Amino acid sequence: MISAATRDYFELFQLPPVFQLDIDRLDIHYREIQSRVHPDKAAHLSDGEKRLFLQWATLANEAYRTLRRPLDRARYLLQIHGVETGEEDNTAMPAEFLLEQIEWREELQEAQARRSQPALDRLSVRLRREMNALLDSLATLLDVERRHSAAAEVVRRLAFLEKLGRDLDQAQAELEA
C-alpha cells in the first residue's frame, strides 16, 4: 500500500511529469479521484475509513492545487529534480530585474494615489503579458532543454510578479469597496 503522504502528484493523477500538462485531463482525473476518496463517500462508514478518506481527499486537493497552478507546478517539478528555487534568498536577483520591479511598484503606487481603475487595469494586462512570456520560457527550459537551474531563476522572477499581481488585486478591491 502506498500511503497518502508519499504519493507523487503526477503519478497520483496518472499524468506524465511535464510542465506543459494536459489541464483538461488533470481536471477530469481530479474529479474522478475525488469522487472516490472524498469524505462524503465515507459518511456511512467506520471512523477508521473516514480518516483514510480524509487523508486521501486532502492529498488529492493538495496535488491538484499544486499541479493546476503553473508556478507551483514548476516548483514541484524542480523539487522532483532536486533543484532548489531559493526564493527565500532573493539577493541573487540581477540588478536590472530589481530595477524593473521598482518601476512596477512605482506605477502601482501612482495608480493607487490617483484612484485610477483604468490605470490599474492597464497595469494588470501588462503584468499578465509579462508573466505569460516567462511561463512560455519555463515550458522550453523544463520540458525541452531541461535546464533546471535556468528554470529556477525564471521561477524566482515569476514569484516576484505573482506577488505584485496579488497587490494589484488588493488595490483594485480597495478601489471598488
Contacting another protein (CB under 8 A), which of 21, 33, 67, 154? 33
CB of 15 to another protein, least distance (A): 9
DSSP state string for 16-55: -S-SS--HHHHHHHHHHHHHHHSGGGGTTS-HHHHHHHHH
Q: Which is nearer to another protein, 58 or 140 (CB)?
A: 58
Contact in structure between 73 and 21 (CB atoms under 8 Å): yes
Contacting another protein (CB under 8 A), which of 47, 88, 96, 103? 47
Residues comprising the chain, all counted: 177
Contact between 102 and another protein per CB under 8 A: no
CB of 99 to another protein, least distance (A): 28
Q: How far apart are CA 95 and CA 99, in angstroms?
A: 6
Q: How far apart are CA 90 and CA 99, in angstroms?
A: 14
Number of amino acids touching another protein (CB under 8 A): 41
Residues contributing to the site for another protein (CB under 8 A): 1-3, 12-14, 25, 28-29, 31-40, 43-49, 52-54, 56-58, 61-62, 64-65, 169, 172-173, 176-177
